């Protein structure tokens, strides 16, 4: 008899624990996206961000061309994705873009690198990027830095075989989602 009582007691405890888990989960929604919307509503929409960063990249290329005699070719295409893990639950309302990469044939001489990096940093700072980059590579003939922005945007600038400029946006709402507003505002 004591064995059956222990089994019965364990079964009751299990059933009670299972009921708490099931009841505790009732009424819960998916990820709360209203906080993400509130944060993203303060940013430009993705089209505005793309236009601003396209202008910034062109300004950088033009200044590097004027200062260092560089010519530029588009080396990549525009690509994008949803915001993913940074803003779960936004689905297609939030997007990030990787703007086309621009390449200039050949390496910037090491003697010119500090001035070129400072020039890129100065232009980037005008768009809200940190003026001091994170250095990934800094050896003779091979330099790679990334300027970041609090919203997750990144400006990649480097020189090795070629000199490159590439911009990635942070997460921004689409124009339609921004117009619609946060879910709590519907």
CATH of the domain at 132: 3.30.2030.20
| Residue 159 forms part of a structural domain | yes
What's the CA gap between 65 and 22, in Å, rounded?
64
Q: Does residue 11 surpass a pLDDT of 70?
A: no
> pLDDT for 103-120, tens place per residue?
999 999 999 999 999 999
| Residue 14 forms part of a structural domain | no
> pLDDT for 122-181, tens place per residue?
999 999 999 889 999 999 999 999 999 999 999 999 999 999 999 999 999 888 887 887
Total of domains in the chain: 1
Q: Does residue 87 surpass a pLDDT of 50?
A: yes
Q: Name the nearest CA neighbour of 186 among 45, 33, 43, 44.
A: 33
Domain span including residue 143: 34-185
Strand partners, 135: 145
Average pLDDT of the chain is 82
| Residue 25 forms part of a structural domain | no
Lowest mean pLDDT among 5-14, 35-44, 98-107, 113-122: 5-14
| Residue 108 forms part of a structural domain | yes
pTM: 0.78
What's the CA gap between 130 and 132, in Å, rounded?
5
Query: Phi, psi at residue 179, to the nearest 5°?
Result: -65, -40
Contact call for residues 28 and 34 (beta carbons, < 8 A): no
What's the CA gap between 163 and 146, in Å, rounded?
14
pLDDT for residue 71 = 96
The H-assigned helical ranges of 29-146 are: 34-41, 46-68, 113-125
Q: Does residue 47 surpass a pLDDT of 50?
A: yes
- Tell me what the mean pLDDT of segment 6-18 comes to: 42
Residues in the chain: 186
| Residue 138 forms part of a structural domain | yes
Q: How confident is the model at residue 183 (pLDDT cuts 50, 70, 90)?
A: low
| Residue 22 forms part of a structural domain | no
Contact call for residues 118 and 143 (beta carbons, < 8 A): no
What's the CA gap between 174 and 186, in Å, rounded?
16
| Residue 20 forms part of a structural domain | no
Contact call for residues 133 and 149 (beta carbons, < 8 A): no
Q: Does residue 17 surpass a pLDDT of 60?
A: no
134-139/154-159 β-pairing: unpaired
Listed in sequence order, the residues at least 6 apart from 157 whose beta carbon sits closer than 8 Å to its beta carbon are 60, 116, 117, 120, 133, 144, 145, 146, 147, 164, 165
């Amino acid at each position: 008899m004591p064995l059956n009582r222990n089994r019965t007691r364990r079964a009751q405890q299990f059933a009670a624990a299972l009921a708490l888990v099931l009841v505790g989960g009732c009424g819960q929604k998916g990820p709360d996206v209203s906080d993400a919307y509130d944060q993203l509503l303060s940013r430009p929409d993705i089209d505005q961000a793309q236009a601003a960063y396209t202008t910034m990249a062109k300004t950088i290329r033009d200044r590097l061309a004027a200062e260092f005699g560089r010519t530029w070719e588009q080396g990549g295409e525009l690509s994008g994705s949803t915001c993913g893990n940074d803003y779960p639950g936004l689905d297609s309302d939030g997007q990030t873009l990787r703007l086309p990469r621009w390449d200039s044939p050949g390496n910037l001489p090491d003697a010119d690198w500090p001035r070129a990096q400072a020039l890129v940093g100065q232009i980037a700072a005008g768009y809200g990027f940190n003026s001091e980059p994170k250095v990934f590579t800094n050896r003779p003939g091979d330099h790679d830095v990334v300027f970041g922005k609090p919203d997750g945007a990144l400006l990649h600038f480097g020189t090795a075989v070629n000199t490159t400029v590439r911009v990635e946006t942070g997460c921004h709402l689409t124009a339609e989602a921004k117009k619609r507003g946060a879910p709590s505002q519907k």
